[in-house]
Amino acid sequence: MNTATYKVTGMTCNGCANKVKNLLSELDGVDAVEVDLAAGRATLRASRGIDEARVVETLEEAGYEAARA
């Protein structure tokens, strides 16, 4: 089990939060995603190592800025 929190910049409404949650949920090995819209944070739980570059790339392609928190 592996947990990682990311700072996500640019989420402005619940639609954004849901989009981020869905996108990250589709990534390999990701079991659960929690998104905190107000705090601008996403936390991933994964059964194996999280591919950090893939997480950041996925968020950036969707129009957000992301960095490991």
The residues that touch ligand 9UX, with contacts defined as CB under 6 A, are 12-13, 15-16, 19
- Please name which of 32, 35, 27 lies closest in space to residue 64, comparing C-alpha atoms: 35
Q: Token digits for 32? A: 């659960």
Q: Name the minimum Å distance from CB 33 to ligand 9UX.
A: 16
Both tokens of residue 39? 């705090």
Residue whose pair of structure tokens reads 């936390």 in the numeric block: 43
Q: Name the residue nearer to ligand 9UX (CB basis): 37 or 44.
A: 37
Compute the least distance from the CB of residue 61 to ligand 9UX, in Å: 12
Q: If you search the block for the tokens 């619940």, which residue do you land on?
A: 14
CB of 40 to ligand 9UX, least distance (A): 13
